[in-house]
């Protein structure tokens, strides 16, 4: 039995979700006539406490359309050095928005308001215009780290003071909300725009949404079309996302408990170093000192476990709804065997 911990993007639709997909009412979404998409957009906006939302096929697209909507070519965007938008989106900010990225090194993906203040450009003909700040919550390369709410509040105040827009890559905002026991709207009240994904821990096969003010989302719809994201009877896929939003948020707590159990188990394995304090949600990033992560992930695959190499001697495991507690309990032993086979 394949224990797939490579990502929470590997989750497959459940029988009930497939039923909702099969029965979805559809229309032409470019004409704004798909009733399922309209329901999903309304519900997403309400959960996030924003005026409007727009459905798109991927988190990469919602982030990049968000950036394009906020910026003009030549503008500068401030991001954490390991932010998904910068690290994993194919150079999108430069290619699609003509924006340059200014990076701040954070602690597990979290930079402070004080660090931000130092990175904002003064008006000067030599400088690009700082226009936008992006945060990520939870932070993927930061090991699923939750952005502390008091820091978000301070960063929000700095952005307002300097007339900067604030965007959230909230692909896993749902995880932060469940882990903190705070509603999503409270976590995103400082942001002008928020990207969320239905296709990660929530288990929908496809889909993300971008939320913000009415005027912002209206403009974002233009760029969604320009980027090729204007879909037609896409209620077929939105139905899976809507089902996930309505039924799968609470169960993320199980993924978090499984991640903790796995981290504790792995911390007992010789040759593995896990910082247990750093595990806050469903992602574990851990060190494999002296062992190549690529070789180890291949050896693990032979044991029936999927993990991704996340650095020369670091792996990432992501608890998700396809992996049961019983399977999680088997992983430390399989890890020991994989390490033995390499030595
Ligand atoms: N992350 C994927 C890979 O791209 C690394 C994963 O397996 O974790 N924001 C964040 C924080 C993400 O983690 C991801 C996907 C995205 C955006 C992009 O979402 P998609 O894959 O829908 O474009």
User: Would the CB of 7 count as within 6 Å of ligand 1?
Assistant: yes
- Read off the pLDDT of each residue in 4-17 and give the average, rounded to a whole number: 98
Residue whose CB lies within 8 A of the most ligand 1 atoms, among 4, 64, 83, 84, for a mutation test: 84
Q: Are residues 64 and 133 in the same domain?
A: yes
> Is residue 48 domain-shared with residue 151, that is, in the same domain?
yes
Minimum-distance ligand 1 atom for the alpha carbon of 139:
11
Ligand 1 contact via 227 beta carbon (within 6 Å): no
Does 201 sit in the ligand 1 pocket, CB within 6 Å? no
Residue to probe by mutation, ligand 1, list 4, 60, 93, most atoms within 8 Å of CB: 60
| CA–CA distance, 37 with 44 (Å, rounded to integer) | 10
The per-residue pLDDT for range 220-277, each reduced to its tens digit, is 999 999 999 999 999 999 999 999 999 999 999 999 999 999 999 999 999 999 999 9
User: What's the CA-to-centroid distance between 314 and ligand 1, angstroms?
Assistant: 18
The CATH code of the domain that includes 256 is 3.90.1150.10
Asked if residue 3 is part of any domain, the answer here is: no
Q: Is the CB of 62 under 6 A from ligand 1?
A: no
How much is the average pLDDT of 285-310?
A: 97
- Domain match, 167 and 201 both: yes
- Please say if the pLDDT value at position 343 is more than 90: no
Are residues 149 and 262 part of one domain?
Answer: no
228 and 265 housed in the same domain = no
- Going from the Cα of 197 to the center of ligand 1, the distance in angstroms, rounded, reads 9
Q: What angle do CA 53, 55, 56 make, to 5 degrees?
A: 135
Q: Within a domain: residue 304?
A: yes
Q: Do residues 157 and 200 both lie within one domain?
A: yes
pLDDT tens digits for 219-231?
A: 999 999 999 999 9
Q: Is residue 9 part of a domain?
A: no
For 55-62, what is the mean pLDDT? 98
Domain-terminating residue out of 232, 247, 262: 247
CATH number of the domain bearing residue 38: 3.40.640.10
271 lies in some domain = yes
Angle between helix 325-342 and 252-267 (nearest 10): 30
Which residue among 247, 280, 296 closes a domain?
247
- Whether 10 maps to a domain, the answer reads no
Q: Which of 261, 244, 81 is closest to 174 using CA atoms?
A: 244
Which residues, in sequence order, are CB contacts of 185 under 8 Å at separation 6+? 47, 48, 49
Pocket probe for ligand 1: among 197, 207, 306, the residue whose CB has the most ligand atoms within 8 Å is 197
Number of domains composing the chain = 2
Ligand 1 in reach of 169 Cβ (< 6 A): yes
Q: Atom 8, ligand 1: which residue's CA is nearest?
A: 7
Judge if 284 and 200 occupy the same domain.
no
Q: Which residue has the higher pLDDT, 149 or 343?
A: 149
Domain shared by 295 and 207, yes or no: no
- What percent of the chain lies above the pLDDT cut of 70? 100
Q: Is the CB–ligand 1 distance for residue 112 below 6 Å?
A: no
Q: Which residue owns the Cα nearest ligand 1 atom 20?
A: 59
- Same domain for 257 and 213? no
Whether residue 189 is found in the same domain as residue 52: yes
Secondary structure (DSSP) of 50-108: -SEEEEES-HHHHHHHHHHHH--TT-EEEEETT-HHHHSSTTHHHHHH--EEEEE--BT
Q: In what order do the strands lie in the sheet with 283-287?
A: 283-287, 314-318, 308-309
CA torsion sign for 117, 92, 94, 90 is: positive
Q: SS in 3 state form for 212-228? A: ECHHHHHHHHHHHHHCC
Q: What is the mean pLDDT of the chain?
A: 98
Q: 323 in a domain, yes or no?
A: yes
Task: Report if residue 70 sits inside a domain.
Answer: yes
> In the structure, what pLDDT confidence band is assigned to residue 1 with cuts at 50, 70 and 90?
confident
As a dihedral over the C-alpha atoms of residue 144, residue 64, residue 127, residue 155, rounded to 10 degrees, the angle is -40
How far does the centroid of ligand 1 lie from the alpha carbon of residue 127, in Å?
Answer: 31
- 196, 231, 247 - which closes a domain: 247
Q: Output phi, psi for 195, to 5 deg.
A: -105, 130
Residue 45 has pLDDT above 90, yes or no: yes
Same domain, residue pair 33 and 139: yes
- Asked whether residue 185 falls in the same domain as residue 96, the answer is yes
pLDDT band with cut points at 50, 70 and 90 for residue 21 = very high
- Name the CA radius of gyration of the chain, rounded: 20
Q: Which domain holds residue 217?
A: 15-247
């Amino acid at each position: 039995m394949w224990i797939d911990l490579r990502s929470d993007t590997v989750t497959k639709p459940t029988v009930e979700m497939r039923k909702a997909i099969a029965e979805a009412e559809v229309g032409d979404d470019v004409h704004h006539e798909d009733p399922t998409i309209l329901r999903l957009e309304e519900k997403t906006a309400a959960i996030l406490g924003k005026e409007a939302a727009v459905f798109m096929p991927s988190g990469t697209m919602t982030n990049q359309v968000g950036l394009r909507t906020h910026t003009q070519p030549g503008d500068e965007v401030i991001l954490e050095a390991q932010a998904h938008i910068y690290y994993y989106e194919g150079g999108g900010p430069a290619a699609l928005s003509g924006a340059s990225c200014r990076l701040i090194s954070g602690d597990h993906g979290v930079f402070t308001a004080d660090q931000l203040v130092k990175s904002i450009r003064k008006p000067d003909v030599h400088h690009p215009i700082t226009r936008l700040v992006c945060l990520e919550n939870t932070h993927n390369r930061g090991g699923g780290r939750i952005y502390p709410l008091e820091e978000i509040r301070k960063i929000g105040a700095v952005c307002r003071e300097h007339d900067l827009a604030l965007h959230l890559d909230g692909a896993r905002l749902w995880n932060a909300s469940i882990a903190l026991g705070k509603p999503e709207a409270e976590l995103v009240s400082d942001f002008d725009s928020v990207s969320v994904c239905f296709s990660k821990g929530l288990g929908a096969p496809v889909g993300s949404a971008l939320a913000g003010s009415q005027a912002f989302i209206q403009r974002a719809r233009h760029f969604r079309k320009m980027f090729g994201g204007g879909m037609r009877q896409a209620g077929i896929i939105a139905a899976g996302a809507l089902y996930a939003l309505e039924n799968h948020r609470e169960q993320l707590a199980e993924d978090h408990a499984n991640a903790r159990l796995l981290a504790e188990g792995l911390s007992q394995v010789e040759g593995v170093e896990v910082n247990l304090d750093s595990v806050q949600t469903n992602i574990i990033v851990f060190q494999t000192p002296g062992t190549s992560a690529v070789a180890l992930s291949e050896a693990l695959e032979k044991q029936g476990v999927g993990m991704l190499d996340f650095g020369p001697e670091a792996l990432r495991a992501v608890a998700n709804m396809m992996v049961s507690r019983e399977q999680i309990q088997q992983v430390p032993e399989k890890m020991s065997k994989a390490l033995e086979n390499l030595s």
